[in-house]
Amino acid sequence: MTAPLLVFDLDGTLAETAPDLVSTLNQVLAGIGVAPVNYDAARAMVGGGARLMIERALAHAGVLLPKPEIDAMFEDFLVHYDAHIADASTLFPGVIAALDQFEAAGWRFAVCTNKIDKSSVLLLKALGVADRFAAICGKNTFPVSKPDAGALLMTIDKARGHRDRTIMVGDSKTDIETAQNAKVPVVAVDFGYSDQPVATYKPNRVISHFDALWDAVDDIAKAVWSR
């Protein structure tokens, strides 16, 4: 039988990355003469990838730029961010213990994120967990990205998993919709980068700490996989 698979989002789910993302965002905004966005407002812009974060920040500042200029900001963002990938980013409490517990029970892991794949791998290496994942798939890994179901389904394939033996873990509407579109159960964490309470989007379970992930996944597996 195919080993069960947990597919994680990255920013706001496995790792608190907002400090480095916000710092980089304000660096590229300063480069075009736009005032920095305060941390709380900028943190709420995280979650859809760097380009969307830039677009949200420009809209917040009331600045309209042509696509080529946004493209240039995006490239500057990636260069700066990759050079400061984990200056202040950390895994959320309980991540390592949860991975250990699931791995001991025969589970395998993958990442499906809208972060650029190079940055995703760099971050997970810097945090010391890249080798825990059978596949690390970013926004440019496949022709589609979340919330398209294909991003999750192709991640599952790359990790040599099976949709009927997979559960997703994410922090946002995008993650929940991705899982729902792929017909995969989803656990939502409520400490990530969602502008609305994640329960609004009807995930299978909501948790507030990784200590609760085992019980949430066990409940889903019993309810869904035993049908």
- Digit-by-digit pLDDT tens for the chain (227 residues) are 789 999 999 999 999 999 999 999 999 999 999 999 999 999 989 877 889 999 999 999 999 999 999 999 999 999 999 999 999 999 999 999 999 999 999 999 999 999 999 999 999 999 999 999 999 999 999 999 999 999 999 999 999 999 999 999 999 999 999 999 999 999 999 999 998 999 999 999 999 999 999 999 999 999 988 65
| DSSP three-state, residue 142 | coil
- CATH code for the domain defined by 5-16+89-225: 3.40.50.1000
CA of 206: how far to CAs of 12, 19, 54, 85, 225, in Å? 14, 24, 29, 28, 19
9 in active site: yes
Cα–Cα distance for residue pair 49/122, rounded to 1 Å: 15
pLDDT of residue 1: 76
Q: Which CATH class is domain 18-83?
A: mainly alpha
Cβ atoms of residues 43 and 18 within 8 Å: yes
**All structural domains of the chain with their residue ranges:** 5-16+89-225, 18-83
pLDDT of residue 49: 80
Candidates 138, 104, 107; CA nearest to 124 is 138
Candidates 3, 8, 2; CA nearest to 152 is 8
pLDDT of residue 227: 58
What the block records as the tokens of 149 is 């179901």
| Catalytic entry in 9, 11, 20, 171 | 9
